[in-house]
Amino acid sequence: MIDQDELKPIRVAAHAADPGAPEGGIGTPLPRKDGLLKVTGTAIYSGDVDLPDLAYGYLVSATVAGGRVRSIDTAAARVHPGVIAVVTHEEDPIRLRQPETYEGPFDLGGPGAFLAHVPMQDDRIYYDGQYVALVVAETFEAAQEAASLIAVEYEQGPVAMWGYGEGETQKLDGLYYGLGHALHRRGDPEAAYDAAPVKLQATYHTPPHSHQPIELHTATARWQGDRLELWDGGWPHGVQIGVAQMLSIPRETVRVHSEFIGGSFGGKVLALPHAALCAAASKRLRRPVRIQLTRPQLFHAVGMRSPTKTDCRLGATEDGRVTSMILDGVNATCLFQDWACEPSTLASRHMYANPHMHADMRVKRANLPSNVPMRSPGEMASMFVSESLLNELAEATGIDPVEIRRRNEPQVNLENDKPWSSRSLLACLDRGAEMFGWADRDPAPGSMTRNGKLIGWGMASATYPTLVTNASVDARIDADGRITVRAAAMDVGTGTYTILPQIAADALGVPVSRVHALIGDTAFRPAAAAAGAMTAATVGAGVQAAAVKLRDRLVTLSLESPNGVFAGAVVDDVEVGDGVLRHAPTGRTVAYEEVLGDIPYVQVTGHAAPGAQTADYSMYAFGANYVEVEVDPVTLWSRVTRVAGAYASGTVLNPLTARSQILGGIAFAVGAATTEASYADPRDGRWATDDFGAYHVPVQADLPLDVQVEFVPEEDSIVNSLGVKGLGELGGVGMPAAITHALHHATGRGFVRHLPVHPESLAAVSADGEH
Amino acid sequence: MRPYNYLVADSPEQAVALKTERPDAQFIAGGTNQIDLMKMGVRRPPAIIDIADIGLDAVEDRGDTIRVGAMVTNTACAGHPLVMQYAPAVSMAIMKGATQQIRNMARVGGNLLQSVRSVCFYDVAQPCVRRDGMNITCGAVGGIDRMNAILGTHPKTNDANASDMAVPMMALGATVNVLGPDGPRAVPMADFFRLPGEVEQLQAAGEGTGNPEQDWYALRPTDLITSVDLPKTRTGQNQSYHKVRDRHSYAFALISGTAALRLVAGTVADARVAAGGVGTIPWRFANIEAALVGEPATPDAFEAAAARSIEGAQTGTVNAFKLDLLPRVLTRALIEAAEGTPANPLFWEESA
């Protein structure tokens, strides 16, 4: 929310000539302002920075998933042509501070955001691919070849696997980084379940996922004296804090650039050890150093979405009203971190009107890389659970799955008894059903066919919380009339460079072409990470506050400075808009920049913080997914052929980039539902799927050509001054359940409860859904 | 950098001569597999011999057969009118493999030799019978063997042959033509790929080539594949290639099935059936073919015959699902073949 104290009580009137919105403002489907830079290859990513005397680092990955390094023979690597330095935990080690706890990416004032394990400090191996040595050379190729000459001997230790249902699980106090409680109970869920006339039991599984943005994680470091300049492609202030802590240097001495980021999915939000190793190597060698991770290293060492297993019991009335849900989830995690970042019980806590609920989340420690948030962390698994349960209930009771959601619509959020700031789930369900043609569905499984194929229609709700945090943004106008908004926000490819100027253009009453966003640099004020769909809502609100303040500052200047263009006039007579100030009594207008006079620029800072009332409300975006699948009746192999989705996420700042975000979410969900999974060898915990030939991200052929996306109008004055609910996570949440629902409908086979749906999955599932 | 010698041949004879001089060298044409393996350190040849421009890039009609030169690109092979007419399953198989960019580079000769998609073959930290010889056991045995074979397996390895193209070639009874220092010779495709047990015997007897990977093919280190002869089988109107995989494009076959049928008045007069992704070599099913001849071309008959596909199958850790899926895929391939070759075997409506 805009801090109201920051705003002077200046009356602002739209310019009389045109009270309409400025060109390119909020709600305009504006193409990306950075699009030309990207398609012409002139956007500079962290691996593109051209520095004189740059050296190249290459990290050696462990080939055991647990145990110790017995010895490392670096002799051949050290004499390889072009090699400058070789680092291990014993030879010329780089000492980094081991963070004691993992800190979350949500608290700007907090101590940082980094992986909880810093490698190459001792001989212990906790996960496959953990870095054991660093080679720095004159070229990437020399470093890579020398790295392959390093001979590491390991003492294979015991390896704890994350396999479902085996081994001990551990109680948890908090989810994520302590943001939420692992246990939620209301009512008397066991008694209500026992008394329920309709009972369901099911266990759902989701696999490990890997973020895999196109841009490989890359750090480029340069020192000038004691000051570090780091190009990282991550969250600027999070990386600054994390790297400074690992290096034990003051954070003020670290400047981080991440002007362009080639995808993140949550994976670029953390400060990662390779960046600190890169910086330390650069300092030691007195020259710039770059470390670019390899594609396999992105599967090994930068964190992942860990697998889940959720045991569920659901009790309901015969008319489909859920009375009790009892969910016990397990999220695998690494050996050195407690949080569950994929809590598979989360969404069920607030989605429906069941008065009785038990939802508990535990972790299972295994030799895995860090368990970190990946796109829609928690909602991916928990909406698969929640929506599968509702669909299985619909099947058990013979009630239409849309109707069953209507019958379970809660008036308030029963998790905390708070009212919704707005909740448009039913509107989304209705609009989505209309777009899809749901009314034409024959509910009998196996009843719909086309060209010899079985056709299935399925659906699911979508939800994502509206997370808000603080944001401070500078807005500036230069004497040449150029307007900039500045904050250390991230554009991970989602459109931050475009929507921030749109918000400022609206507030200032100027065409969007005059406004530019400067982001991705710790030289600017801290801003939320591009995580949890926070950027538009929080940084956007900060931009609005700053732009309003800049506009008011210009009015003040025009009136109060000795040479002010309207010196002596009264504030009520000045109108603002269309890039000009207008003195109403005389009709005299002056452009914004003319107000500056001899001042080179005017810069103000706007602040946005969660408003007091946000604590009194439950704030979520909702949506509805409708899916068609086609199944070969002979092989039972399937594909998704059609999707319609309706989403309500408050104000839509830019329908074009918003639609793209949703489409990306849908593609992501098709991957989560039908192709993507990491598998590790059960004998030694080593990954068997650490390249794109084995870890199948979806390709165009997996995605339906017929995709309809609509935004349902929704006004929400509670969430923030813009009425924006983040939608970066919303697209595709719940869709895996819609897909398994459609597969059930197509074939009459049981619900697939193990993701992803492989070609053999339907054949393997019995009528009651057990594998 | 890892230096290596780069030699260029300008004729098949010169390629063989260079290889005879440098038996430690490896041929490279399209490089779509070779370059990957060199980058990953799986193969470290001290020299490579570029054979991309030695000719052998034509598809010829030779009466009873079609001769496809070894340097014909996969794209050109798939799209050649003779191939589309007489061996459309080869066109379809090629089009279901890799990507257009890779198919434009990859050559027919190299495709026959494409390496296995085994975890341990690509991970040099793991033991691999292809790299190290059959005196050890493949790391994938007992591990994640989802992509591995159930037919022609051996206690030491169940790596599946990864080629799409070779599956219909095997079904059609193709012949591989080879040029060596002693001149040309022809190797029936049925003899071209060696089963693990054959490789083990060869190596145990000291008759291997010294390059364990080489021993998996009936090729001497000095041999060059010059062409593949595809017989005109009179099944061109009824061929299919049905590939089931973990995503709908750009993925190796979980299981692929091919069928070539000659139908006379609704009855099967000739049947050729093979599968990929299930055999340590492209796997032809003589048992299914024999069961089909004389049977009506109906889904029930196809299903009954395809059920024989898993005779003798050996499953591993996580690939038992192939026992169920293989008959399904072959049934589907037979149904599609009976329905008729697609009008355009390069671009057709893929079922599911």
Q: Is A207 helix (H, G, I), strand (E, B) or coil?
A: coil
Element (H, E) at A541: helix A540-560
Single-letter residue type at B220: R
Burial of A9 (0-12, 13-18, 19+ CB in 10 A): exposed
Contact A136, A289 (CB under 8 A): yes
At residue A8 the predicted structure's pLDDT band, cuts being 50, 70 and 90, is: very low
Q: Which two three-digit tokens encode residue B112? A: 């026959």
* Interface membership of B274 toward A (CB under 8 Å): no
Could you give phi then psi for residue A384, rounded to 5 degrees?
-60, -40
CA dist., res. B55 & res. A550, Å (int):
71
Choose the mutation target among A453, A637, A687, A703 for the interface with B, i.e. most B CBs under 10 Å: A637
At residue A470 the predicted structure's pLDDT band, cuts being 50, 70 and 90, is: confident
pLDDT-above-90 percentage for chain A? 81
| CA-based end-to-end distance of chain B | 45
What's the confidence (pLDDT) of residue A22? 74
* Interface membership of A494 toward B (CB under 8 Å): no
Q: How many helices (H) and strands (E) does chain B have?
A: 15, 12
What's the confidence (pLDDT) of residue A18? 40
Stretch 232-271 of chain B: residues touching chain A, C-beta under 8 Å: 242, 244-252, 254
At residue A723 the predicted structure's pLDDT band, cuts being 50, 70 and 90, is: very high
pLDDT at B102 over 60: yes
Beta partners for A471?
A: A608
At residue A17 the predicted structure's pLDDT band, cuts being 50, 70 and 90, is: very low
Cβ neighbours of residue A162 under 8 Å, at least 6 residues apart?
A208, A306, A307, A332, A364, A366, A368, A680
| Sign of the alpha-carbon dihedral angle for A187, A193, A197, A201 | positive
Q: What is the pLDDT of residues A87-98, one digit of tens each?
A: 999 999 999 997
Q: Which string of DSSP letters, residue by residue, matches B281-337? A: S-EE-HHHHHHHTTSBS-HHHHHHHHGGGGTT----SS-TTHHHHHHHHHHHHHHHH
Choose the mutation target among B115, B116, B144 for the interface with A, i.e. most A CBs under 10 Å: B144
What's the confidence (pLDDT) of residue A7? 31
What's the confidence (pLDDT) of residue B201? 97
CA dist., res. A411 & res. A418, Å (int):
9
* Interface membership of A252 toward B (CB under 8 Å): no
Candidates A81, A63, A198, A185; CA nearest to A133 is A63
CA dist., res. B149 & res. B319, Å (int):
8
pLDDT-above-70 percentage for chain A? 94
Strand order from edge to edge, sheet including B26-28: B5-8, B47-50, B26-28
Strand order from edge to edge, sheet including A574-577: A574-577, A580-583, A588-591
Conformational region of residue B59, where left means phi above 0, alpha means psi within -120 to 50, and beta covers everything else: beta
Contact A689, A299 (CB under 8 A): yes
pLDDT at A14 over 50: no
Contact A420, A716 (CB under 8 A): no
Stretch 74-113 of chain B: residues touching chain A, C-beta under 8 Å: none
Total-model pTM? 0.95
Of residues A761 and A14, more confidently modeled: A761
Q: Is the CB of A635 less than 8 angstroms away from the CB of B1?
A: no
* Interface membership of A758 toward B (CB under 8 Å): yes
At residue B59 the predicted structure's pLDDT band, cuts being 50, 70 and 90, is: very high
How many other CB atoms sit within 10 Å of the CB of residue B155? 12
Question: Which runs of E-coded beta strand occur in A146-265?
Answer: 151-156, 170-171, 174-175, 180-181, 183-186, 198-206, 218-224, 227-231, 254-257
pLDDT at A207 over 90: yes
| Sign of the alpha-carbon dihedral angle for B345, B347, B351, B352 | positive
Going by their DSSP bridges, the two strands B26-28 and B47-50 should be labelled as: parallel
Mean pLDDT for all residues in chain B: 96
Angle between helices A655-674 and A735-747 (to 10 degrees): 50
pLDDT at A3 over 60: no
Max CA pair span of chain B: 64
Q: What is the pLDDT of residues A404-424, one digit of tens each?
A: 999 999 999 999 999 999 999
| CA-based end-to-end distance of chain A | 49
Residue A691: list chain B partners with CB under 8 A. 122
pLDDT at A147 over 70: yes
Residue B122: list chain A partners with CB under 8 A. 691
Place of tokens 């070229």: A139
Rounded to a whole number, what is the distance in Å from the CA of B244 to chain A's nearest CA?
Answer: 7
pLDDT at B258 over 70: yes
Residue B245: list chain A partners with CB under 8 A. 759
Residue A700: list chain B partners with CB under 8 A. 249
* Interface membership of A153 toward B (CB under 8 Å): no
* Interface membership of A29 toward B (CB under 8 Å): no
Q: Which of A453, A686, A758 sits opposite B352 (nearest CB)?
A: A453
Tell me the count of A-B CB pairs closer than 8 A: 99
CA dist., res. A260 & res. A268, Å (int):
12
At residue A770 the predicted structure's pLDDT band, cuts being 50, 70 and 90, is: low
CA dist., res. B292 & res. B270, Å (int):
8
* Interface membership of B144 toward A (CB under 8 Å): yes
| Sign of the alpha-carbon dihedral angle for B68, B71, B74, B79 | negative
| Mean pLDDT, rounded, for A443-457 | 97
Contact A343, A182 (CB under 8 A): yes
Give the CA angle between residues A198, A202, A207 to the nearest 5°. 155
Q: Which of B247, B328, B332 sits opposite A696 (nearest CB)?
A: B247
What's the confidence (pLDDT) of residue A2? 34
Q: Which of B1, B117, B324 sits opposite A693 (nearest CB)?
A: B117
* Interface membership of B323 toward A (CB under 8 Å): no
CA dist., res. A632 & res. A638, Å (int):
6
What's the confidence (pLDDT) of residue A10? 32
Element (H, E) at B18: helix B12-21
At residue A11 the predicted structure's pLDDT band, cuts being 50, 70 and 90, is: very low
Contact B151, B257 (CB under 8 A): no
| Mean pLDDT, rounded, for A638-658 | 96
Mean pLDDT for all residues in chain A: 92
Could you give phi then psi for residue B225, rounded to 5 degrees?
-75, 125
Residue A693: list chain B partners with CB under 8 A. 117, 251-252
Conformational region of residue A67, where left means phi above 0, alpha means psi within -120 to 50, and beta covers everything else: left
Which of A100-109, A666-675, B19-28 has the least mean pLDDT? Answer: A100-109
Q: How far is CA B186 from CA B109, B183, B231, in A?
A: 14, 10, 14
Candidates A71, A245, A251; CA nearest to A150 is A71
* Interface membership of A585 toward B (CB under 8 Å): no
Q: What is the pLDDT of residues A594-614, one digit of tens each?
A: 999 889 999 999 998 887 888
What's the confidence (pLDDT) of residue A536? 87
Nearest CA in chain A to B321: A760
pLDDT at A5 over 50: no
Single-letter residue type at B243: K
Going by their DSSP bridges, the two strands B183-188 and B175-180 should be labelled as: antiparallel
Contact B49, B8 (CB under 8 A): yes
Q: Is the CB of A702 less than 8 angstroms away from the CB of B248?
A: yes
Contact A182, A173 (CB under 8 A): yes
pLDDT at A111 over 50: no
